[in-house]
Amino acid sequence: MPPRIAVVGVSSLIGEAVLAELRARKFPCAALHALDDERHIGRPVAADDDEPGAAGRPPPVNPVAGFDFSGVDLVIFCGRAALAEQYAEAAAAHAWVIDCSAVFRGRSEVPLIVADVNGSTLAGGATQGLIALPGSASVALATALAPLHALAGLVRADVATYQAVSGSGRGAMDELAGETVAMLSGKKARGRAFGRQIAFNVIPQVDSLQDDGVTREERRLWEETRRVLGSPQLAINATAVRVPVFFGHSLSVHASFERALHPREAAAALAGAAGIAVIETDSALEFPTPATMATAPDKVYVGRLRADPTRDRALNFWVVADNVRKCAAHNAVSVAQILVNSAW
């Protein structure tokens, strides 16, 4: 029998994207339960109307409170930390649990998985347990760095991330849209979602600032990337920036290696890696951007690949990935596929 699946937080951006990814892949399942907290019961979830039955329209949204997780084999928690904190460990006593939130990422005993990078570490045989997924910027960064690290030995990465507002949820997207309309109408921006105006602005802070001046997002970025790459001592320096873009995180990466790596050699390694598309300098596309590449959200896109003229054995490149669909939903369902392939 194919697995029985529950998706928790289906009315979130990631939840809707996970359901869409399951439908797009025609993911095998004996049953599919759509769950959320009480305030979201009855809220419509986006569906493909042209696909009838279980593969098309999603099931009705039911309350997660009181749900019997012993009746499912696989559970995907979709981004809301409160739901994962309350229910994920109990669910993991009966089923595989894939958590998209930050709740379990810092636990060394919980696997932290990017399917295209370290998915092979999910050994077959077990039928239950917790699996954490990194944040979207970490997924994009680790996916781009992994083949280069394997080829030339990554020594250091300096990265600036330019993160879409959808990383903060649906309310942040509504805020950007509302502020944009208001300012174009000559009114003031409210500045509620990020504590200041986001429309027509750039904010060099993602998540809260800590005592040392580093934001929680920057610290997560280097900790998660190190774990996924299996390099606990890797030097990563990060600045995380919020930009007025709806979907698609962008990253400017400056990477140093143990040996010299020509851009052509690096481009070949990236092009041959899972989950990556390389935009060559002579391509008609020229380079990836969120507005163009987020509409085809099945890859991490790498462009502007070039040698660093100021350092030996170093490269500069630009990365774009859809934060909700590629880095969260696609990764979650890909991890689920690995589990299904090994256990069913």
Domains defined along the chain, listed by start: 4-134+328-343 (3.40.50.720), 137-323 (3.30.360.10)
Residues 6 or more apart whose CB falls under 8 angstroms from that of 11 comprise 36, 40, 43, 45, 61
Count CB neighbours of 43 within 10 A: 10
User: What's the pTM value of the predicted model, to 2 decimals?
Assistant: 0.94
Residues 6 or more apart whose CB falls under 8 angstroms from that of 262 comprise 307
User: 226 in helix, strand or coil?
Assistant: helix
* 191 Rama class: left (phi>0) / alpha (psi -120 to 50) / beta: left
Tell me the pLDDT tens digit for each residue of 51-108: 433 445 667 899 999 999 999 999 999 978 999 999 999 999 999 999 999 999 999 9
Give the residue among 256, 63, 65 at the shortest CA–CA distance from 158.
256
Q: Provide the sign of the torsion angle of the four alpha carbons 206, 207, 210, 215, taken in this order.
A: negative
Amino acid occupying residue 115: A
pLDDT band at 296 (very low <50, low <70, confident <90, very high): confident
CB 162 within 8 A of CB 251: yes
Tell me the pLDDT tens digit for each residue of 213-256: 999 999 999 999 999 999 999 999 999 999 999 999 999 999 99
Most confidently predicted of 58-62, 256-260, 289-293: 256-260
Q: What is the pLDDT of residue 52?
A: 38
pLDDT above 70 (res 127):
yes
Q: In angstroms, how far apart are the furthest CA atoms of the chain?
A: 61
Q: For the chain, what is the mean pLDDT?
A: 92
CB 318 within 8 A of CB 251: yes
pLDDT above 80 (res 343):
no
